[in-house]
Amino acid sequence: MESKALTNKIKILSKNLIKPSISFPTSKNEHHPKNYKLSFFDQFACQIHVPCVLLYPLKYSMFSFTKNSIIHEQLEQSLSKLLTHVYTAAGRFAVDGQSIDCHDEGVLYIKAKVECKLDNFLKDAQKDIDLAMHFCPKIDRDASNLSTTPLVVVQVTEFDCGGLALSVSTKHAVIDGFTALKFVYEWSKVSKTGIISDKDCFTYDDLGTIFPARDNHLSKIVKSPRDNDHEFVETISRKFVIYESAISRLREIVGVACFKPSRVELVIALFWRSLINVSQRKNNGCLRPSLLIVPMNLRDKINFPKYKNSFGNFAIEVPVKFIPGETRMELQDIVQLLRDVIQKTSISFAKASDDIIFSSAAKFHEEIKEWKKNEQVDVCMASSLCRFPINELDFGWGKPCLTTFGLRRRDMFWLYDTECGTGIVVQADLKQGYMNMFQCDQGVLTFTCQ
């Protein structure tokens, strides 16, 4: 199925706002403040909506004309219940851009239908996972509309003869990857059981007070030269699976004596090295510097238990720099480079003061911005979602049969667990000219399956 043909087959049926089942203010939710102050972690995040798409193979008998309205009702009611406790997700940016007004404006819920059978779509998606991006909601990206744009947008698309695509798009300037995935996970539990088992699924420690934004930065978003919408390079996606046996072989080959590399370190190093190899071939044998950006969730790094389930952005982007002549191209050297930078960062943040955390995060931000300015540097990102309950997102009709993430706007590796939990799936978003060569790289061919 061609991309354009699928677009023409999708019809929007309705749009409405889902609000918390208990509106603010009431005596039952006195903890619900009117305003949520943003932090300096939020100020470093991009002003974009980031989507994830989940496909579910509902049987026709389950998703008939009489059943589909029940399922929508189930999704809407469970979302409304969750928003009572995750109230910030139903808010809007304040006019000053420094905080979120929490007046229960709601999450935008879009119903859609596609003239296509899920089985047929899945066959096509095996060859072109990017087809699933057509089920993402269309978001108004005009920065001047921040105060009216929902922070969370949901689109539920029904297939002919059963099955649905559930897409959740979240505003990155307020919601990081941990918050987004946990939000979807908590929603799935409420949808399946009808009750909220954990009313404190998120904590609102007001990171904006503990780590306040600096220099009015939120209202003056500073973008690097490669962060403008019109300069993003369009990429395509492919999925690769690295099973436990391949990870064990990788660990044996690396053979680092002083530490045991984690499976995430091994896989990121393998894919980054392969991408560096591709860049070398594309540039007539010239080995170029490469910047790998690794998002680090600070919730399990900073020694404060109350931050464990903090809502919002509580992560930093760590720059890992490959410089020809300083680091060899052997896999063990790439693994060692990655380990050294990530471990050093993790240790330094563990007991750092608020000011040191800010200065370190700001330093990383500036380093990344400077490297991005250099057209002689290759830039990519690797985000690990391993240990997140992605395969457990069951809204009451089973687990997803297909999952995809992101906007396809940069060279990116998304890592998440295989269903058995011992292997890793990698969604690689790369420029098309690079992808064709990347799939044929010896390291990728040796250790992965597609």
pLDDT digits (tens, 9 = 90+) for 169-208: 999 999 999 999 999 999 999 999 998 877 778 887 668 8
Contact 280/288 with Cβ under 8 angstroms? yes
Q: Choose between 206 and 91: higher pLDDT.
A: 91
* pLDDT higher than threshold 60 for residue 124: yes
What pLDDT is recorded for position 320? 98
229 pLDDT band, cuts 50/70/90, is: very low
Q: What are phi and psi of 429, to 5 degrees?
A: -105, 110
List C-alpha distances in Å: 159 to 9, 113, 114, 291.
Answer: 10, 6, 5, 41
Average pLDDT over residues 284-298: 96
Q: State the angle between helix axes of 354-373 and 331-350 in degrees (0 to 180), rounded to the nearest 10.
A: 150
User: 């934004």: which residue's tokens?
Assistant: 213
What pLDDT is recorded for position 61? 44
Q: For the chain, how many residues are written?
A: 450
Q: What span, in angstroms and rounded, lies between the C-alpha atoms of 426 and 375? A: 27
* pLDDT higher than threshold 70 for residue 268: yes
Nearest of 354, 293, 356 to residue 322 by alpha carbon: 293
Q: What is the DSSP string of 14-50?
A: EEEEE--SSPSS-GGGTT--SEEE-BHHHHTS-SSEE
What pLDDT is recorded for position 289? 97
What pLDDT is recorded for position 93? 93
DSSP 450: -
Contact 166/402 with Cβ under 8 angstroms? no
What pLDDT is recorded for position 341? 96
* pLDDT higher than threshold 80 for residue 59: no
pLDDT digits (tens, 9 = 90+) for 371-419: 999 999 999 999 999 999 999 999 998 999 999 998 888 899 999 999 9
Q: What span, in angstroms and rounded, lies between the C-alpha atoms of 401 and 383? A: 21
pLDDT digits (tens, 9 = 90+) for 428-443: 999 989 999 999 999 9
Q: Choose between 108 and 216: higher pLDDT.
A: 108
List C-alpha distances in Å: 334 to 165, 292, 330, 343, 446.
Answer: 38, 11, 7, 14, 18
* pLDDT higher than threshold 60 for residue 104: yes
Q: What is the mean pLDDT of the chain?
A: 88
List C-alpha distances in Å: 237 to 169, 193, 277.
Answer: 18, 34, 19
Contact 104/24 with Cβ under 8 angstroms? yes
* pLDDT higher than threshold 70 for residue 154: yes
* pLDDT higher than threshold 90 for residue 350: no
List C-alpha distances in Å: 115 to 65, 81, 170.
Answer: 15, 32, 27
* pLDDT higher than threshold 90 for residue 332: yes
